[in-house]
Amino acid sequence: MTTIRSARTTDADEVARLYDICVRTGAAGGDATDLYANPRLLPEVYLGAYLALEPGLAFVLADDDDRPVGYVVGTTDTRAFAERCEREWWPALREQHPLGSAEQGTPDAKLVELIHTPGLMPDAVVDRFPAHLHVDLLPEGQGGGNGRRMLETLFDALRARGVSGLHLGVDTTNTRAVGFYEHLGFRPALPDSDWLYGIDL
C-alpha cells in the first residue's frame, strides 16, 4: 500500500532518499548508479533545485513505513524558475564543481557542463506550456496507477495556481515513460521534437 504526501524538503534524511531515487531511476528509467562517479551530481542537476525552491510542488509516493519510493517535482513557471536557479542554485554548485573537474568524456563531465550552462527551453514551448515536471518511481512503486496518481496530484496543485500548460523532457530510449506520457494525453510540444512533450491542464 502506498500513499502520496508532500515531500519533507527540509528533512536531510528524506532529501538523501529522494536523491538516491533520482540516481536509481536515472538511466532512461533504470538504475544509473554505475554510470556516475559522483552520485550527487545527477540529483543536484535534476532534483535538488525543485526541493529547495518549489517545496510546495514536491510530492512523494511513500510505502507502508512512510519511506519515499518515488517523487514528482515541478515548477509553475519555467522561465522564472531558471532565473531563480541562476541566483540561488547554480552559483554554489559552480564553485563546488568547476568546469573540467570531472574526467573528460564521462557522464559526470556532461553534468558539470550543465551546471555551468543549463539548457533553456525554446520560447514556443514555455509560452504554451509554462510549467514542467520530473517524476521518478522506484521499481517497487511503479505500476497500478501510481505514476498517473502522482502526476494528477501535481496537476491539481498547478491548476490551483492558475497554470494552464505543462511540458516535460523524456529520454527517447525510455520507451516505458514515452508510452505512459502518451497514454496520459501528452503530445509533442514542438512539431519536430521527439523528446519534448506538452499537455494542457
Ligand X SMILES: CC(C)(COP(=O)(O)OP(=O)(O)OC[C@H]1O[C@@H](n2cnc3c(N)ncnc32)[C@H](O)[C@@H]1OP(=O)(O)O)[C@@H](O)C(=O)NCCC(=O)NCCS
Site for ligand X contains 148 (CB under 6 A): yes
Taking CA 201 as the corner, what is the angle to CA 142 and CA 139, rounded to the nearest 5 degrees? 5
Alpha helices in 54-174 (DSSP H): 78-88, 90-96, 107-116, 123-128, 146-160
> Of these, 110, 116, 183, 187, which contacts ligand X (CB under 6 A)?
183
Torsion of CA 91, 24, 152, 60, to 10 degrees: -80
Q: Which is nearer to ligand X, 97 or 170 (CB)?
A: 170
Site for ligand X contains 147 (CB under 6 A): yes
Point out which residues pair with 187 in neighbouring strands.
Answer: 198
Q: Which is nearer to ligand X, 91 or 179 (CB)?
A: 179
Per-residue contact flags (x/-) with ligand X for residues 6 to 25, judged by CB under 6 A: -------------------x
State the residue for C-alpha cell 526541493: 51
> Of these, 137, 158, 163, 189, which contacts ligand X (CB under 6 A)?
137
Rounded (to 5) percent helix, strand, coil in the chain:
45, 20, 35
Count of residues in contact with ligand X, rule CB under 6 A: 19
Using CB under 6 A, which residues numbered 152 to 181 contact ligand X? 170, 174, 176-177, 179-180
> Minimum Å distance from CB 156 to ligand X?
16
Q: How many Cβ atoms from other residues are within 10 Å of residue 101's Cβ?
A: 12
Per-residue contact flags (x/-) with ligand X for residues 79 to 118, judged by CB under 6 A: ----------------------------------------
The residues near 194 (Cβ < 8 Å, ≥ 6 apart) are 172, 188
> Minimum Å distance from CB 132 to ligand X?
11
Question: Residue 131 and residue 136: Cα distance in Å, rounded?
Answer: 17
Site for ligand X contains 76 (CB under 6 A): no
Residues contributing to the site for ligand X (CB under 6 A) = 25, 29, 135-137, 142-148, 170, 174, 176-177, 179-180, 183
